[in-house]
């Protein structure tokens, strides 16, 4: 369990380097991330590489035995590069190139950009690849599958289509069929769909373009990774993902890397009672699922994100780092040691602010480093889950292209189930549509909108062999190309679900009511499937409107397993009640009476189990334990836990 910081020596007076490194070592910083934005410092003029200054900083941290995460800063080329190659700047849908001075403004399809990025990578790996204090290499910061409309991307998209479909007739059959005189006679007639008004964009065309941009990003980073591996085969390589940007398919991106990494900026906002606005637990589990193993947080929130952001409340800086450990992070790097006095990030707070005074955040960070030092026994542990939620990148993007109703949220459905299982202390994996499901007792498949043959076969095999499945509405609607199927919904899953969708109502922000088998009622919204049973039984039915008494949620026994279908989007209590019933039926242990806002996860080494209790709320809470357990934080036995706001305790089971 390591705590580290981002450090930007190129932005700091070199006379402060030694005292900073000495202070980090003193308080227990174990890792430092360097080089994030330093391309112009490494290569201030074309082909003039200047790295002696960096040799000094690497030697300094090695002296203090602080390991280094070395960044290849290829996402931010220098100004001189864009002056020479302006066609390498991203192009918007209105055919306007972004101007220099903005983060992430380069087009990764540019051959000139790729050539220079590879050259920088080669220089860095040859110079520092054998340094034993460099523990990992980060290639690119926040890679994106940005919908660039430059001619590089347009031509790349055309080549990608021809490689996939071989001829224009096959492309036409997928894109347009015989619709709206939209057929293409030559491949050169096809352009990035972002040129068109949103309502005019062809869903099949648009999804294929997003797939192309995602694969282009992954293919480029594969090339960078292989460049590092050729020079230094033992190098550990990752990339830092931002789940708020146009990120590529995470499962393809990390397939060829050693581990996954991400930004982690939980909201510092609280409600009127001081409770956290939301939790980042789902995102952390999503990142762990990228390779289905432990990961790094490469940027952890250290304070206000910018001038308009609220300050971190006491306990948040430490609590959110420990929350990341609870969900499978092995290393957490805080976003910066010092607040910058320059540039667009000058109001993104570091551990030490502009005035160089060691204030509240520094003191809390010091306490965090001390806490992490007590967790050596947890090092090498991982998370084992009996529950999985399937995430489909294609379905996620298809819903972005064509939202089915006002405020419909694909990710919101994944979060609803994740929150419900977390409410009872269950570990949850978030896995790809290609994942092996056989080791899970319960699998949730929300809105599998775009058909995936491998996923379909895996889902059927899972239920046939005794698994418990929960699917939700808008499943089986599209074929693999994002065109509507002509089958009765839920299409490929009709037999499994044991019910047909005979009508539906895109209710959006309007609300309806459902009543379950016990007579309990819940509010629902966004979408209402009207179901006709074939072999299934009704779990809940609509209790008002024109579809009153029609099934809304069903349960079907299929071969050795059970398949539930939730045809609407419900309030929080419904998911907790449904999940509670399913956990009881499948024998998954369930913690009862956890206070609202308390999150529980378990890490294990196969012999010992370590249970993390995180109070993600603004209230003091008391949690009784079933028996006395040893607290890793306070180094003593406890029969109950008392947690202040945003605090964590870890007990050995």
Query: For the residues of 111-125, what is the DSSP string, one character each?
Result: HHHHHHHHHHHHHHH
Calculate mean pLDDT across residues 24-44. 97
pLDDT at 637: 94
For 228-272, what is each residue's pLDDT tens digit? 999 999 999 999 999 988 899 999 999 999 999 999 999 998 887
pLDDT at 348: 86
Query: Does 536 score more than 50 pLDDT?
Result: yes
Give me the percent of the chain exceeding a pLDDT of 70. 97
Average pLDDT on 99-107 reads: 66
Other Cβ atoms less than 10 A from the Cβ of 484: the count is: 11
Q: In angstroms, rounded to a whole number, what is the distance separating the alpha carbons of residues 304 and 289?
A: 28
pLDDT tier at 306, thresholds 50, 70, 90 = confident
Across the range 334-338, mean pLDDT stands at 95
Q: Band of the pLDDT at 552, cuts 50, 70, 90?
A: very high
Q: Please give the Cα distance from 302 to 348 (Å, whole number).
A: 8
How far apart (Å, rounded) are the C-alpha atoms in residues 588 and 633?
27
* Distance separating alpha carbons of residues 576 and 564, to the nearest angstrom: 15
Whole-angstrom distance, CA of residue 206 vs CA of residue 225: 29
What is the DSSP track for 260-326? -EEEE-----B-TTS-BS---HHHHHHHHHHHTS-EEEEEE--S-SSTTSPPPPTTHHHHHHHHHHH
Q: At what angle do helices 17-27 and 360-373 cross, to 10 degrees?
A: 50
Looking at residue 274, its pLDDT comes to 81
Tokens of 472: 């939700």
Q: What is the pLDDT of residues 353-378, one digit of tens each?
A: 999 999 999 999 999 999 999 999 99
Task: Please indicate, yes or no, whether the overall pTM of this predicted structure exceeds 0.85.
Answer: yes
| Per-residue tokens: 532 | 């006709």
Interacting residues of 363 by C-beta distance below 8 A, sequence separation 6+: none
Distance CA 118, CA 377 (A): 40
Give DSSP secondary structure letters for 314-337: TTHHHHHHHHHHHTTEEEEEES-S
Cα(19)–Cα(6) distance, rounded to whole angstroms?
Answer: 16
Q: How far, in Å, CA of 360 to CA of 318, rounded?
A: 12
Q: How confident is the model at residue 95 (pLDDT cuts 50, 70, 90)?
A: low
Residue 620 pLDDT level (bands cut at 50, 70, 90): very high
Per-residue pLDDT tens for 459-512?
Answer: 999 999 999 999 999 999 999 999 999 999 999 999 999 999 999 999 999 999
pLDDT in tens, 396-423: 999 999 999 999 999 999 999 999 999 9
Beta carbons of 405 and 527 less than 8 angstroms apart: yes
* Token reading at 629: 């357990």
- Stretch 285-293: mean pLDDT: 97
Residue 101 pLDDT > 50: no
Using CA atoms, how far residue 446 sits from 214, 257, 263, 291, 468, in Å, is 22, 28, 25, 20, 14
- Phi (first) and psi of residue 562, to 5 degrees: -135, 140
């Amino acid at each position: 369990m390591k705590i580290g910081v981002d450090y930007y020596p190129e932005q700091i007076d070199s006379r402060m380097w030694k005292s900073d490194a000495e202070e980090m070592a003193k308080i227990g910083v174990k890792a430092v991330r360097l080089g994030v934005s330093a391309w112009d410092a490494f290569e201030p003029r074309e082909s003039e590489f200047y790295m002696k200054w960096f040799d000094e900083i690497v030697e300094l941290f090695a002296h203090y035995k602080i390991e280094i995460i070395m960044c290849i800063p290829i996402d931010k080329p220098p100004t001189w590069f864009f002056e020479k190659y302006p066609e390498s700047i991203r192009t918007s849908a209105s055919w306007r190139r972004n101007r220099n001075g903005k983060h992430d403004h380069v087009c990764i399809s540019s051959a000139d950009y790729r050539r220079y990025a590879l050259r920088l990578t080669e220089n860095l790996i040859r110079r520092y690849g054998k340094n034993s204090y460099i523990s990992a290499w980060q290639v690119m910061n926040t890679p994106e599958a940005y919908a660039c409309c430059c001619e590089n991307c347009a031509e790349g998209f055309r080549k990608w289509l021809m490689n996939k479909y071989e001829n224009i007739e096959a492309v036409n059959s997928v894109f347009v069929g015989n619709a709206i005189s939209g057929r293409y006679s030559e491949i050169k007639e096809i352009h990035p769909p972002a040129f068109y008004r949103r309502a005019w964009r062809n869903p099949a065309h648009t999804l294929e373009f997003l797939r192309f941009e995602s694969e282009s990003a992954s293919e480029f980073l594969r090339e960078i990774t292989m460049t590092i591996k050729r020079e230094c085969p033992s190098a550990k390589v990752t990339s830092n993902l931002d789940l708020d940007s146009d990120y590529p398919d995470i499962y393809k991106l990390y397939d060829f890397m050693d581990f996954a990494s991400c930004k982690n900026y939980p909201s510092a906002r609280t409600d009127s009672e001081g409770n956290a606005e939301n939790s980042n637990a789902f995102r952390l589990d999503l990142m762990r699922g990228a390779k289905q193993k432990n990961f790094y947080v490469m940027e952890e929130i250290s304070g206000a994100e910018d001038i308009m952001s609220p300050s971190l409340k006491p306990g948040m800086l430490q609590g959110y780092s420990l929350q990341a450990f609870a969900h499978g992070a092995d290393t957490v790097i805080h976003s910066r040691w010092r607040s910058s006095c320059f540039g667009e990030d000058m109001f993104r707070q570091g551990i030490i602010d502009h005035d160089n005074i060691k204030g509240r955040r520094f003191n809390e960070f010091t306490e965090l480093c001390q806490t992490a030092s007590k967790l050596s026994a947890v090092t090498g542990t991982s998370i084992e889950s009996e529950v999985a939620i399937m995430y489909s990148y294609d379905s996620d993007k298809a819903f972005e292209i064509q939202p089915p109703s006002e405020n419909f949220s694909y990710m919101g459905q994944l979060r609803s189930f994740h929150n419900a299982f977390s409410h009872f202390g269950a570990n949850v994996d978030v896995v790809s549509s290609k994942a092996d499901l056989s080791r899970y007792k319960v699998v949730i498949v929300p809105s599998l909108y775009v058909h995936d043959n491998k996923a379909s076969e895996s889902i059927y095999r899972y239920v046939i062999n005794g698994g418990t499945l929960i699917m939700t509405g808008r499943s089986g609607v599209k074929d693999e190309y994002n065109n509507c199927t002509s089958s009765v919904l839920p299409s490929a899953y009709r037999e499994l679900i044991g019910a047909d969708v005979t009508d539906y109502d895109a209710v959006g922000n309007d609300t309806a009511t459902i009543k379950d088998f016990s007579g309990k009622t819940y509010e629902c919204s966004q979408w209402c499937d009207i179901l006709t049973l074939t072999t299934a039984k009704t779990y809940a039915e609509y209790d008002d409107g024109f579809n009153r008494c029609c099934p809304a949620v069903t349960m079907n026994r299929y071969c050795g397993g059970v398949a539930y279908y939730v045809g609407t989007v419900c309030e929080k209590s419904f998911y907790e009640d449904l999940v509670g019933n399913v956990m009881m039926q499948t024998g998954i242990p369930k913690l009862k009476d956890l206070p609202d806002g308390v999150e529980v996860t378990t890490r294990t080494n196969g012999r010992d189990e370590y249970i993390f209790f995180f109070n993600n709320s603004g209230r003091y809470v008391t949690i009784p334990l079933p028996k006395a357990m040893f607290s890793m934080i306070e180094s003593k036995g406890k029969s109950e836990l008392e947690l202040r706001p945003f605090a964590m305790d870890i007990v050995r089971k």
